[in-house]
Amino acid sequence: MLPILIPFLMAILSIINWGNRVLHRFLALAGSVGLLFAALALLTTVNEQGILSSNIGDWPAPFGIVLVADLPAAIMILMAAIVGLAVLVYATASMDKGRERFGYYPLILLLLMGMCGAFLTGDLFNLYVWFEIMLIASFALLALGGSRAQLEGSVKYFALNLLVSAFMLTGIGLLYGMTGSLNLAALAQTLRAAGPEQPVTTVAIFFMIAFGIKAAMFPLYFWLPASYHTPPVAVSAIFAGLLTKVGVFALIRVFTLLFVQDTAWTHGLLLAGAALTMLSGVLGAMAFDDIRRIFAFHIISQIAYMVLGLALFVPMALAGTIFYMVHHILVIVSLFLVSGLIARAGGSYFKAQLGGLYGTRPLLALLFLVPALSLSGVPPLSGFWAKLTLLRVTLAQELWLVAAIALLVGLLTLFSMVRIWLSAFWGPPGPAAASVTPMRAGERRALYGSTLALVTLTLALSLFAGPAFELAERASEQLLDPAGYIAAVLGEGS
């Protein structure tokens, strides 16, 4: 419960004191630190005691709304809290006054609240409501500032998300008509008992499309690179790290708990989608000069690895997916924060305008190199372990083509990172370097501090990949064994 309440309370206090920038900053930081502690507490409790559930307003499940905390949800909430804190610290030194006054901080808090809600909810319609909360907050964040490029990106983002809502509601409506319940645990029971005459797979496709768009899967990913690079870094970093992951998480939730009747068809479709997404994402990244756009395309191709793990549908692969999500959240957020630092230190987001940063900013070069190599899967960094697990399962299932694509995409990712490295860090200083103003000490502390913290966490994840992977394995067992989930929500007898 606390992960939702803390950001909510802080956002309320910010709205009461609208326009007070200093107080907003303080409340947002306090809220995200609180969220971090609540998330840690939740993870340890769930780890020790198993799945927890809480009936809101004490209306019993399956009639009331339930919040369920299992290991995957607790892990994701912890990641959201870490990223939220890092981005907010980064924002205190990089956000302009206008955006701060018009509610940047409360909006981020509401976004975090929406995510925690989406991770925790045990009710399908409630999931939709949390998605809408995230959508409203993220739309406002995207449009805040109102430059031409931003509005264009926001309109695309908004239009497509309306479509998602329509698909999702249709799916929810059909499911309710079929089973008479929207409680995830109750649905899992009924759908498992449902005969082949029920159009379960049709409904599953509605959800696949809806969450697939949210997660930026092929062929519905074009909204992401069109919008993510337009807002300031402290906005796009949190979008990049978390928004698409909520889509992936929702996919995992419904395709492990609900739609497992016809896995050859649904998960086969996911597999094909994943392979195509991987390829198109990384090829898209080759075509652009703007560093943020390149990273945005890499999100797409990396998302595909997570979906791949879900599509393979064995414990090992799902554990790989969860590990991959944790790894990718850390890495992609650091890369976006680094892109902001590159622009601050080199004067531009465009590769062609940059150069020679290695000579002037060796620390920044290091901060770029670690997540960049981890993203492309160079051993012994965290990305390597994540990719290795998924690849081994792919090979074990004799999906040679998919394995080949996954390997090729890893190589192309490395190539793309090396190209950024060559143009931004190597060679003579770029033409944009002249416009750079020196950083103040406080600014440097906040910007480098938050990025450094995330990079350190990436390194820690690489070093302690073993224990982290064990946790992911236990989480994947909970996903694949819905009996535990059902028992936690509906009581032991059912």
Task: Give the binding site for another protein (CB under 8 A).
Answer: 1, 5, 8-9, 12-18, 54-58
Work out how close the CB of 55 gets to another protein at its nearest, in angstroms, rounded to a whole number: 5
CB nearer to another protein: give 1 or 30.
1
CB nearer to another protein: give 9 or 418.
9
**Amino acid identity, position 164:** V
Burial 404-417 (b: 16+ CB within 10 A, else e): ebbeebbebbbebb
CB nearer to another protein: give 61 or 373.
61
Work out how close the CB of 61 gets to another protein at its nearest, in angstroms, rounded to a whole number: 11
For β-strands 52-55 and 66-69, DSSP reports them as antiparallel
φ, ψ at 67 (rounded to 5°): -110, 130
How far apart CA 335 and CA 341 sit, in angstroms, is 10
CB nearer to another protein: give 104 or 228.
104
Work out how close the CB of 58 gets to another protein at its nearest, in angstroms, rounded to a whole number: 4
Q: From residue 476, give the alpha-carbon distance in Å to each of 317, 320, 432, 482.
A: 9, 9, 48, 11
Tokens of 398: 């004799």
Residues making up the chain, counted from first to last: 494
Work out how close the CB of 253 gets to another protein at its nearest, in angstroms, rounded to a whole number: 22
Q: What is the largest CA-CA distance in the chain?
A: 71
Partners of residue 68 on adjacent β-strands: 53
For 124, residues 6+ apart whose C-beta sits below 8 A from its C-beta are 172, 175, 182, 183, 184, 187
Work out how close the CB of 336 gets to another protein at its nearest, in angstroms, rounded to a whole number: 31
Work out how close the CB of 133 gets to another protein at its nearest, in angstroms, rounded to a whole number: 13
CB nearer to another protein: give 56 or 459.
56
Work out how close the CB of 441 gets to another protein at its nearest, in angstroms, rounded to a whole number: 35
Judged by DSSP in three states, 183 sits in strand
Cα dihedral 21→23→25→31 (10° resolution): -150
For 336, residues 6+ apart whose C-beta sits below 8 A from its C-beta are 233, 236, 237, 240, 241, 292, 295
φ, ψ at 55 (rounded to 5°): -90, 115
CB nearer to another protein: give 9 or 369.
9
CB nearer to another protein: give 65 or 333.
65
How far apart CA 83 and CA 458 sit, in angstroms, is 12
CB nearer to another protein: give 367 or 490.
490
Q: From residue 276, give the alpha-carbon distance in Å to each of 212, 265, 269, 271.
A: 13, 17, 11, 9
Work out how close the CB of 20 gets to another protein at its nearest, in angstroms, rounded to a whole number: 11
CB nearer to another protein: give 69 or 471.
69
Work out how close the CB of 136 gets to another protein at its nearest, in angstroms, rounded to a whole number: 13
